[in-house]
Structure 1
Amino acid sequence: MKKTKQLLFGHPLNPFNPAILKHVSLVAFLAWVGLGADGLSSSLYGPEEAYIALGKHTDFALYIAIATAITVFVISLGYNQVIELFPSGGGGYKVASQLLGSHLGLISGAALIVDYVLTIAVSAASGMDAIFSMLPVQLLHYKLFAEVAVIFLLLLLNMRGMRESIKFLLPIFLGFFIIHVILIVYGIIAHHQGLTLIIPKTIEDTQKTIAAMGLTSVLALILHAYSLGSGTYTGLEAVSNNVNRLREPRVATGKWTMFYMAVSLSLTAAGMILLFLLWEPKQEMGQTLNAIVFHAILGHSNFAQVMLFITLLLEAGILFVASNTGFLAGPSVLANMAIDGWMPNRFRHLSTRLVIQNGLILFGISAIAILIWCHGKVSLLVVLYSINVFITFSLSLFGLCVYWITHRKKTSLHWLWRLLFSFLAFIITSAILCITLITKFESGGWLTIVITCTVIFICLLIKRHYYIFNKKLAQLDIQLKQPIVHPPTPIAIDTQQATAVIFVGKSLGVAMHTLLNVIRMFPRYFKNFVFISAGIVDVESFAGQSELEKMREHVDENLKYFIEFCNQYGIAAEAFASFGIDTVEELTKLTEMANKKYSNCIFFSSKLIFEHDNWITRFLHNETPLTLQRNLHLQGKELVILPMKI
């Protein structure tokens, strides 16, 4: 079983190896490939939706092309500020939480979670639509199965690690980008005569339309088309969510990644709109405008047909790479929310490959469930898509405005320019959000709001549970923590005597409850007390070497306290500590060490008992004592679990 697991997911990585952070971190180029694919893939449908929405007034597409390129850079520069202020990652969720309040942070985080699930589902379904459009119609009933298989494959790739999944998909991304840049440049050059006529023709058409319809109607038409192309900007926030996964210096790497994303996305999106203007494609059943334009550019030769097939195949492939962005960015948001208590603690834990395994599984299952629910219909999924990301955009940029106002005396002399820029970006993104919500609400956009509100409601219930639970634990720590009255003298240990081995977790109160109950239940029976504790590396402690050291110090301080407490009452005591990814695995190692040294030992642990115990409380809290008990029974040892009502 262990060999099979290593074959599928790779060999375990040591989080305490100083070189491991460099191994799992991303340079700007790989971050661009992994996190920029979502935005780049949107150039397949965003510009087309905007162009079609203009109807017969296609000359207005020039305004859309300029506005699209500007918007990409405005949002990117806004998120550069987020990267500067929050170099530990968290992006839109952390900005809203720390600058606007925890509840607005919750809205931003919930919106991102839903958006990333939809990113996985929409991109996988769209990619399969593109592939099956090139296959016989008889195979269509296998499409949903193929979509689920793709998501499962991407899930498996990401379980091996972020870098591994990106490197696997790298050729698709580069192939798509290079071919599309070549076709866009060639298409513009081949039609260079029309290029000189675009501006005067657009001005003329604008004047005539204003005279016929009025300025307000023209602006409404342009804004409507501009908002329908809003899917173009999805994915720009992904870098700020994953700054902690970037190569040092993180801020510089993050900014370079944003620059690559902004240039590539503005070039492809605005470039496609220019091609539509120059080549004037007409809609045909079963074909995208991209395919029609590329067919016109390449011609009808056999070589052109092969190139067109490769181009369309790469367009399908980039959608799968975009789907992977949801797996790369989504679990990080989930982990940050788990750290703040909005999500179950298990979503902050790392696997042996130092990825957020539980988060990956949740996103994979959720995306598959949505695909099955809508039978893989892209038309329904697209309506749900792109609303939530603008909630996060708007909250993040408004948070920056608040920051520059409140910190104007402590920051640089350029705070006013940064404030004005953040406010401009906020106006743009909030306007797109309002227009998108209004235009998509009746056709299914309401469902996105309902789903997001449901996620928010669940998070509020989880937060309430953890708040009450942590409050009770804090009171318990205060009540049960015994003072160390005088400097204790170490007591010699006799390993042949009866020994009680006690598990120590994060709460001193719980471990003290175990110790005092053992002494009460077995008076003067145990001559030695051994305390074992595991320091677990999660998303928070894996942020850097200093965080890992803090976690080590915390574990060592807790164990030192229990040794000194026993020594001051003339009881022999020692402690064992281990550090790693899996709580049960590390504690099992320690039990084996204690078992070898102390032949006559019994293990003790406390288990929290809730008044209303059900599967929800068991999901929110780990069942470590029960798992350890099973492992120790296999070794022929005893673990006594003491109930502790809370």
Structure 2
Amino acid sequence: MPSLTDAAKRLLVGRPFRSEKLSETLLPKRIALPVFASDALSSVAYAPDEIFLTLSIAGIAAYAFSPWITLAVVAVMLVVVTSYRQNVHAYPSGGGDYEVATVNLGPNAGLTVGSALLVDYVLTVAVSISSGAQYAAAAIPALRGHEAVFAAALVVLLMTVNLRGLKESGAAFAIPTYIFMASILGMALWGFGRYFFGDLPQAPSADLTLSGERDFTGGFTSIAGAFLILRAFSSGAAALTGVEAISNGVPAFQKPKSKNAATTLLLLGLVAVTMLFSVITLANLTHVRFAEDPATQLLRGGAPVGDSYVQDPIIGQLAASIFDHFPIAFYVVTAATGVILVLAANTAFNGFPVLASILARDGFLPKQLHTRGDRLAFSNGIIALAGTAVVLILAFDAEVTRLIQLYIVGVFVSFVMSQTGMIRHWTRHLRDETDRGTRQRMKRSRVINSVGLGMTALVLVIVLLTKFTQGAWIAILAMAVVFVNMKLIRRHYRRVSAELEIPEERSAKALPTGVRGVVLVSKLHKPTLRALAYARAARPTELQAVTVAVEPEETAALQTRWEAMNLPIPLTVLDSPYREITKPVVEHVKSLRRRYPRDLVVVYVPEYVVGHWWETLLHNQSALRLKARLRYTPGVMVASVPWQLTSSAGQEERIERAAPGLVRRGTFGPSPTDHPDNPEDHR
């Protein structure tokens, strides 16, 4: 019968999958779109707000720039989507921007991209979940003041769902994502229909006037005006986050992987730009007023509305006006928007573990991140992402306005490096390509990537200029810390590998010329006899039993009984004037090593196997201390010889049920055909 822990794990995560079932977890396009597009689509819920918030500093006249800013964002997105469609064909292994940069620009460029994306994935979870928590707190007053705890609970919930496997989590999140897409597109169609028929109502805030902040002077032709427009553009560029996730998740698609990934990218781009431009256009048609400081900037009859005024998000205002005759549709739109903000984090839960597994495979992250869990998902990466995001949410108290300033820097760093790498990729292949048609396609692709590089580099510069002092420096610092740590991890793995490598010409010399066996004896009882028998069965070059003379009377009695039983192994007594046990044994073993430097010394330690935690405190303490000392002595091995006490009966079955690797084979205990797990699986 499974233990309570196993039963709880099976309830939350599900039955384990066999390795050959991996192909069955791959995603069709209809599931892959909501899985990988939820982050990019969710930006429709806050990118328009960020654009209008920034422009509101200059007053109502600045709203005229919102369509042009949106067109600029749309242009950048379409170019990025087009270039990434080439990426997934050229590099379908799942490394995405990391692989492109590593292959074409070198390992340091690849690590720069890897660190940027890892940080950005964590921020994606923190920002989207915190935004969802704020929406929930606005609808449920009981959550106010507890947004951070609620957001952390949502992260844990998403983690649990993703631990069940990519296909199951995708199926669970597909319906809400499609509802959001349908609700926003449906609202846009209905709104434009009402506009063309002259029946489009005004937004709830349309009767208010908007005053600019006092410190904005000089108009839009001044440096301050240009900087404001660039800042609004950088805020709207948040709509591009999540586009790169598909290039990192190509291995998760059904075959043909590259073709399906490229098609999904195209669908993502078309849907996202349609939704974004529709929302911005309708916001202007309904005369939405959205201010950074609504209490003082929004005026009714020339007087500020004050702190009692509640400023609803732009989508909420649009839904209220467009569906003024159909309240159910209003609630569907607002509820779907709140849900998609939470589900946006799911893109990171699919991208981060895959990227972390590739970095771990290359030795830049701990090897545990490269192994798959019970459900063939990269469980350790999912848990690491959730834990880091929870720490970030609690540290910033789930305040979106503070977290959003750290956002999108990483993704545009990866965009720039990826476009640069793809230009190098096409240039390199053009040197060897002779077919005229193929060369024309390569040149056309290089032009697309060159345009993408110019646009994304410009956006990156704008983002750094407008957001650096507002918090973007924290994200840059985090990227630098991750970069340095990955270099150190790589250096450690290389050092260990070099240390453990045996040159071929010295392989014979690596073998010991003999084995010196030492059996530790405290009393003459069954565990001691088992240890002696085990040591003799190993046929060492020399075998001796060793005891430490702590109590002279007990030592004399032991020697007398040893001789009476006529045991064929000599008993060596070590003096211990200060009643120590560990030090005399260690010194004796070291003396053997000095006497026989080319021999191996094996110390056999009899140990009790107990069944209760409190029994551990009563037994084996000397053995634990001794083994801890001997493990650092070169040329010495310690062999534990267990003796099972009666209280340990039944423990074997429970331990085997919880053994790593067994549950992944779909069993709760070993079968006669089971083989030991590879130690490399549990490094």
Normalised TM-score (structure 2): 0.67
State which of 320, 323, 335 in structure 1 corresponds to 2:345: 323
8 Å contact from structure 1 (residues 351, 582) kept in 2: no
Q: 1:141 to 1:365 in 2, by over 3 A?
A: same
Aligned to 2:34: 33
Compute the displacement of 1:592 (Å). Answer: 7.8
Q: 1:99 to 1:589 in 2, by over 3 A?
A: farther
3-state DSSP of counterpart to 2:430: coil
Aligned to 1:104: 109
Compute the displacement of 1:297 (Å). Answer: 1.4
3-state DSSP of counterpart to 1:88: coil
Compute the displacement of 1:216 (Å). Answer: 7.6
Q: Distance in 1 between matches of 2:27 and 2:664?
A: 28
Compute the displacement of 1:146 (Å). Answer: 1.4
Q: Distance in 2 between matches of 1:95 and 1:595?
A: 41
Aligned to 2:95: 90
8 Å contact from structure 2 (residues 156, 386) kept in 1: yes
State which of 118, 127, 136 in structure 1 corresponds to 2:123: 118
Q: 1:24 to 1:582 in 2, by over 3 A?
A: farther
Q: Distance in 1 between matches of 2:337 and 2:674?
A: 59
Q: Deviations over 1:424-446 (max 9, x none)?
A: 10111111111111111111111
Compute the displacement of 1:139 (Å). Answer: 3.3
Compute the displacement of 1:57 (Å). Answer: 2.4
State which of 365, 380, 388 in structure 1 corresponds to 2:402: 380
Q: Deviations over 1:391-432 (max 9, x none)?
A: 011100110011111211335222222111101101111111
Q: Distance in 2 between matches of 1:48 and 1:477?
A: 66
Judge which range, 21-30 or 37-46, deviates more: 21-30
Q: Deviations over 1:280-311 (max 9, x none)?
A: 20125431122122212122x4x42x322221
Give, as a single letter, the amino acid of the residue that structure 2 aligns with 1:350.
Answer: R
8 Å contact from structure 1 (residues 155, 327) kept in 2: yes
Q: 1:481 to 1:131 in 2, by over 3 A?
A: farther
Compute the displacement of 1:121 (Å). Answer: 1.1
8 Å contact from structure 1 (residues 130, 312) kept in 2: no
Which of the two has higher C-alpha Rg?
2
Give, as a single letter, the amino acid of the residue that structure 2 aligns with 1:429.
Answer: T
Q: Distance in 2 between matches of 1:125 and 1:216?
A: 34
Compute the displacement of 1:362 (Å). Answer: 0.5
Q: 1:478 to 1:428 in 2, by over 3 A?
A: farther
Q: Distance in 1 between matches of 2:399 and 2:231?
A: 24
Q: Distance in 1 between matches of 2:385 and 2:77?
A: 27
8 Å contact from structure 1 (residues 65, 274) kept in 2: no
3-state DSSP of counterpart to 1:12: coil
State which of 361, 364, 369 in structure 2 corresponds to 1:339: 361
Whether 1:449 aligns to 2:476 is yes
8 Å contact from structure 2 (residues 47, 237) kept in 1: yes
Q: 1:214 to 1:155 in 2, by over 3 A?
A: closer
State which of 396, 399, 402 in structure 1 corresponds to 2:418: 396
Give, as a single letter, the amino acid of the residue that structure 2 aligns with 1:107.
Answer: T
- Which structure shows the bigger proportion of residues in helix conformation? 1
Correspondence 1:259-274 to 2 at 5 A: 259-274=266-281
State which of 2, 14, 27 in structure 1 corresponds to 2:18: 14
Correspondence 1:62-101 to 2 at 5 A: 62-101=67-106
Q: Distance in 2 between matches of 1:213 and 1:169?
A: 43
Give, as a single letter, the amino acid of the residue that structure 2 aligns with 1:294.
Answer: A
Q: Deviations over 1:619-639 (max 9, x none)?
A: xx8876xxxxxxxxxxxxxxx
Aligned to 1:50: 51
Whether 1:144 aligns to 2:148 is yes
Q: 1:408 to 1:213 in 2, by over 3 A?
A: same
Q: 1:224 to 1:144 in 2, by over 3 A?
A: closer
Q: Deviations over 1:529-574 (max 9, x none)?
A: xxxxxxxxxxxxxxxxxxxxxxxxxxxxxxxxxxxxxxxxxxxxxx
3-state DSSP of counterpart to 2:92: coil
Compute the displacement of 1:584 (Å). Answer: 8.0
Compute the displacement of 1:191 (Å). Answer: 1.8
Whether 1:282 aligns to 2:304 is no
3-state DSSP of counterpart to 1:79: helix
Q: Distance in 2 between matches of 1:142 and 1:440?
A: 28
Compute the displacement of 1:85 (Å). Answer: 1.1
Aligned to 1:240: 247
Give, as a single letter, the amino acid of the residue that structure 2 aligns with 1:265.
Answer: A
Q: 1:115 to 1:498 in 2, by over 3 A?
A: same
State which of 319, 323, 332 in structure 2 corresponds to 1:298: 323
Correspondence 1:174-193 to 2 at 5 A: 174-192=178-196
Correspondence 1:304-315 to 2 at 5 A: 304=327, 306-315=328-337
8 Å contact from structure 1 (residues 47, 272) kept in 2: yes
Aligned to 1:632: none
Unmatched tracts of structure 2, length 5 or more: 200-217, 295-309, 511-535, 540-595, 603-658
Compute the displacement of 1:312 (Å). Answer: 1.1
8 Å contact from structure 2 (residues 22, 376) kept in 1: no
Aligned to 1:437: 464
Compute the displacement of 1:67 (Å). Answer: 2.1
Give, as a single letter, the amino acid of the residue that structure 1 aligns with 2:315.
Answer: N
3-state DSSP of counterpart to 2:344: helix
Q: Distance in 2 between matches of 1:287 and 1:104?
A: 43
Q: Deviations over 1:597-618 (max 9, x none)?
A: xxxxxx9x9x9xxxxxxxxxxx
8 Å contact from structure 2 (residues 38, 347) kept in 1: yes
3-state DSSP of counterpart to 1:133: helix
Task: Count residues in correspondence.
Answer: 495
8 Å contact from structure 1 (residues 96, 108) kept in 2: yes
Give, as a single letter, the amino acid of the residue that structure 1 aligns with 2:120.
Answer: D
Compute the displacement of 1:144 (Å). Answer: 2.0
Compute the displacement of 1:69 (Å). Answer: 2.3
Q: Distance in 2 between matches of 1:37 and 1:227?
A: 20
8 Å contact from structure 1 (residues 194, 278) kept in 2: no
Compute the displacement of 1:143 (Å). Answer: 2.2
Compute the displacement of 1:241 (Å). Answer: 0.3
Normalised TM-score (structure 1): 0.71
Q: 1:453 to 1:595 in 2, by over 3 A?
A: closer
Compute the displacement of 1:166 (Å). Answer: 1.3
Aligned to 1:418: 445
Aligned to 2:231: 224
Q: Distance in 1 between matches of 2:673 and 2:26?
A: 37
8 Å contact from structure 1 (residues 131, 316) kept in 2: yes
Q: Distance in 2 between matches of 1:582 and 1:446?
A: 41
Q: Distance in 1 between matches of 2:167 and 2:416?
A: 30
Q: Distance in 2 between matches of 1:594 and 1:260?
A: 48
Compute the displacement of 1:163 (Å). Answer: 1.0
8 Å contact from structure 1 (residues 35, 325) kept in 2: yes
Compute the displacement of 1:192 (Å). Answer: 2.9
8 Å contact from structure 1 (residues 242, 332) kept in 2: yes
Q: 1:586 to 1:144 in 2, by over 3 A?
A: closer
Judge which range, 470-479 or 124-133, deviates more: 470-479
Q: Distance in 2 between matches of 1:455 and 1:355?
A: 23
Q: 1:521 to 1:238 in 2, by over 3 A?
A: same
